[in-house]
Chains A and B, each alone.
Chain A
C-alpha cells in the first residue's frame, strides 16, 4: 500500500495534465456575428471569432439552426426582439466541422458563410464549439436574424 501511495505521488509530481478549457473570445478583434445581428438572403456571414487555449487547440464547429420555435438558449442574456413563433418547412441548417492546424494556441476563425436562397427568414441560432487537444470543449451561442 505504501508503495502504491509513493507511485501515485511520484506520477503526480511530473504533472503535465491540461486542466483548462479553451476559450471563445472577442478580444482584440471585431467579432462577427454579434448577438442580434441581422442578415439578408444572399449576404455572406463573415465569421470572425478568436479561439485560445493554454496548450493546444483541437478543432471547431460552426452550426446554424432555426429558432423559429423560440427554444431560446442563447448564452447571452440579450433578448433580440424575436419574430412571432412559426414552423417553416425550409429552415436553414448549417453544420460544419473545421480543423485547426496543429500546435496552435491562438486561432482566429475567418470563415465566409453565404446565406443560401430559398431558406425561411426569421430567428436563428449561431453556435461555435471548440475543443482543445486534451478533449476539453467550450461553446458559445448567438441569436441572429435572417430577413
Chain B
C-alpha cells in the first residue's frame, strides 16, 4: 500500500476486512505491533459506533494518554499526552486538517459519522506529518473503498444532557471501476446542564437557571461526497468535497469585557442561540490518487480548505473604543492549499524506503471590531526520507530524516478608533507591525522493534518541531473569553522537542499487559505567560519560550476471563516542569492529572449479540499549577454502556446506549479552559444511537 502521510491509516481504511474487535470495551489495538517502532493505536467504525459519546474525541478517550477537552457538551478538543492545540496534527485522508487549532473554543470541524477508521500516533510524528506533530497525530480515514455495489445506513442519535437530536445518512457503492460515497449529518442541541445552581468566578456569583449554562445551544450541518474510479489493478483516484457548518452560542456570563449579565433574556428558551455566538464553516475539496508500479507505490494528495468563522457579540464600548456599529467582533477567513507526494520503494527483501514531499500555503484575513491575530500568509515545504530495515525475523529498525522550510508574512494592523496620546493629541494605535519570518528545521527519528514469544518491545528516539503560529507571533489584543490581554512575540523560534519513547507489551493469550513510558525535553516551549503588568485594565499575558521537561507513562492490563466476561485496567500519568525563565519550577499550563479506568464488559448472544459495560473513571487531584490556574480536586465518575446488534430485513440494526456520569458528580476538568472560569463539567447524560445498515451483497460483474 501507499505512502505519504498516514500510510498506515490509508492502508487500513482500504482494507475493508478489518476485524471487529473481540475486546470491545478494552477497545483499541496496536497496529502492526510487531514491526511498528512507534506507539500507534487504531480503532475502526464499529468501535466508534459502540462508544458513541457525543463527539469523536470523547469516543476515543478510552485510549490511555488520549483526552478530549470538552467545550460544552458536544464539542471537544483532542490532546495526546497533555499536548493539544498546535502541538498535534489531525489529518483527514492524508491531508492536515485546518481549523482554528490555536483557539480555545473550537471543536474539530469534522463529521464524525463519515469517519471509517482512526489511527492515533502517540509521540512525535513530524517526520511524516511535518510541523505541529510534536505530541502526536490523529489520522482520520474517510475514503475507504466501498466493497458492495450498494451500501446505505441511517443513524438517529440523541443526548439527554443538552437535549441533542440528530440524524446521519450514508450511501456508498462500487460498480465496476466507479465508486462513490455520500454522507449527510444534521444535529441540533440546547444549552447543556451542569450539576450546579451557580458558579463562582473570582468572587463573582453567577446564578444558573436550572443548572443550564445559558446560551451554549447550537446546531451542526455536515455534507460530504466522494467520487472515484479505480482500474481494479494498480490505479485509484478520487475527489472528495466536504462541508462542515456549525453555529453555537458562547456561555453568556463569561464573554466580553467582564463578568456581566446582559439585557438579553437567555433563560426564556434553552434552544435558541443569542449573542455572544459563533459560526464556523469548513469547506474542503480533496483529490487523492494512488498508483502501484511493480513493487513501488506512489500516492498524491491535493487539497483546498476554506475556513470561515465569525464571532458575534453585543457591541459595547471598552476603554477608548466607542460602541462598535455592529455585533461582528471577529471574522477569520483562511484558505489553505496543500499537496503531498509520496513514494514507497522496497529495496530487496529487507529494506523499504519511503520518500516524500509536502507543501502548504495559507492565506488568512481578519475582520470585525476586535483584534486578536493579524492578517498573514504562510508557506511551508518539507522533504523526507525514511528506511525500514528488517534486520531479522525478530528485529525491525527504522530511521528517517526530514527538512522543513517555512515562511510567514504578517501584516500591520491599527485600531479603527482614536486613543488619546500626549496632550490633546490622539492616534490610531498600531497593534501589529509588518513582520516576515523564515524558519527552517531538520528533524530525525530512529526506532527499533523487537518481538519474541509473548513479548514486543519498542524504542523510538527523535526530534520534532513546530513553527510558531500567527497568534503566537502577532497577537495583540483582548481575549474576550477569558478577560485578559494577549501579546505575541514576533521573534519566537520554532519550538523543538526531543523525545524518547518506549513500549513493552506482553501478550499471554487471555491476559495482555502494556506499558508505554516516555521522556520529553523542550529547549524552547512556547506558552502564554501571565505577567505582573496591565494593558488597558487587563492583565497582560505574553507569549514566551522556556525550556521544559516532561515524562510519563500509560499502562494497560486486559483480561479475557471467559467468552462472556472481560476486564481491563488502564491508567496514565504525565509530569511536566519548566526549567528556565519566569516560571522556572512551575509545571506547564493545563497539566493532565493522573487518571485510571476500570472496565468490566459482558458479551452476550441473544437475538443477535451485544455488550453491557461498566466503567469507573477516577482522576487524581491536580496540585501542580502555574498562574492563573487553581488546584483541581480529584473525582470519580461511573459510566454504563450497552450495545446490541441484530439482523433485520437483510440489514443490521445496531443500538448503543451510554450513561455518563451516572451519579451526576460535580467535577472540574483541570485541562479545560472552562476550569479557569470555574465551570464544572456536564452532569449526567444519556446518549442513544440507533443505526440501520444495509448492504447489497452480490457483486456486479466487473467491467
Residues facing B in A126-147 (CB within 8 A) are 129, 131-141
**Cβ-based interface call for A29 (8 A):** no
With beta carbons under 8 angstroms apart, the residue of B204, B534, B586 that contacts A73 is: B204
B579 touches A11 (CB 8 A): yes
Give A12 to B586 CA distance when docked, in angstroms: 9
Q: Given A8-B577, A129-B537, A1 and B628 touching (CB < 8 A)?
A: no
Residues facing B in A11-37 (CB within 8 A) are 11-12, 14-17, 19
With beta carbons under 8 angstroms apart, the residue of A5, A7, A97 that contacts B534 is: A97
CB-CB < 8 A to B317: which residues of A? 93
Closest residue of chain A to B502, judged by CB? A1
**Cβ-based interface call for B582 (8 A):** yes
With beta carbons under 8 angstroms apart, the residue of B260, B549, B585, B628 that contacts A136 is: B628
Among B31-39, B403-411, B525-533, B598-606, the stretch that binds chain A is B525-533
Give A22 to B202 CA distance when docked, in angstroms: 13
A8 touches B537 (CB 8 A): no
Closest residue of chain B to A58, judged by CB? B532
Give A21 to B586 CA distance when docked, in angstroms: 15
With beta carbons under 8 angstroms apart, the residue of A5, A16, A131, A140 that contacts B539 is: A131
Chief secondary structure at chain B's binding surface: loop
Q: Quote the shortest CB–CB distance from B322 to chain A (angstroms).
A: 10
Q: Quote the shortest CB–CB distance from A143 to chain B (angstroms).
A: 13
CB-CB < 8 A to B204: which residues of A? 73, 75, 141
**Cβ-based interface call for B692 (8 A):** no
Please list the residues of chain A having a beta carbon within 8 angstroms of any beta carbon in chain B: 1, 4-5, 7-8, 11-12, 14-17, 19, 58-61, 63, 69-73, 75, 93, 95, 97, 129, 131-141
Q: Quote the shortest CB–CB distance from A50 to chain B (angstroms).
A: 17
CB-CB < 8 A to A70: which residues of B? 261
A16 touches B263 (CB 8 A): no
Q: Given A11-B585, A61-B537, A63-B537, A73 and B532 touching (CB < 8 A)?
A: no
A-B contact count (CB 8 A): 94
Q: Quote the shortest CB–CB distance from A36 to chain B (angstroms).
A: 17
With beta carbons under 8 angstroms apart, the residue of B319, B535, B585 that contacts A15 is: B585
A59 touches B534 (CB 8 A): yes
B577 touches A11 (CB 8 A): yes
A71 touches B517 (CB 8 A): no
The 10 closest A-B pairs by CB, nearest first: A58-B532, A135-B530, A135-B627, A71-B260, A97-B534, A75-B203, A4-B551, A131-B532, A95-B537, A61-B534
Number of interface residues of B (CB under 8 A): 37
CB-CB < 8 A to B532: which residues of A? 58-59, 131-135
Query: Looking at A4, A59, A71, A140, which has the most chain B CB atoms within 10 Å of its CB?
Result: A4
Q: Given A8-B575, A75-B203, A93-B317, A58 and B519 touching (CB < 8 A)?
A: no
CB-CB < 8 A to A59: which residues of B? 532-534
A135 touches B577 (CB 8 A): no
A58 touches B585 (CB 8 A): no
B202 touches A75 (CB 8 A): yes
Q: Quote the shortest CB–CB distance from B472 to chain A (angstroms).
A: 18
With beta carbons under 8 angstroms apart, the residue of A8, A73, A139 that contacts B260 is: A73
CB-CB < 8 A to A60: which residues of B? 534
B549 touches A7 (CB 8 A): yes
Can you offer 12 A-B residue contacts whose CB atoms are under 8 A? A17-B585, A17-B586, A19-B625, A69-B263, A71-B258, A73-B261, A93-B319, A95-B537, A97-B533, A97-B535, A131-B539, A135-B529
A58 touches B536 (CB 8 A): no
Give A70 to B263 CA distance when docked, in angstroms: 9
Residues facing A in B558-588 (CB within 8 A) are 575, 577, 579, 582-583, 585-586
CB-CB < 8 A to B549: which residues of A? 4, 7-8
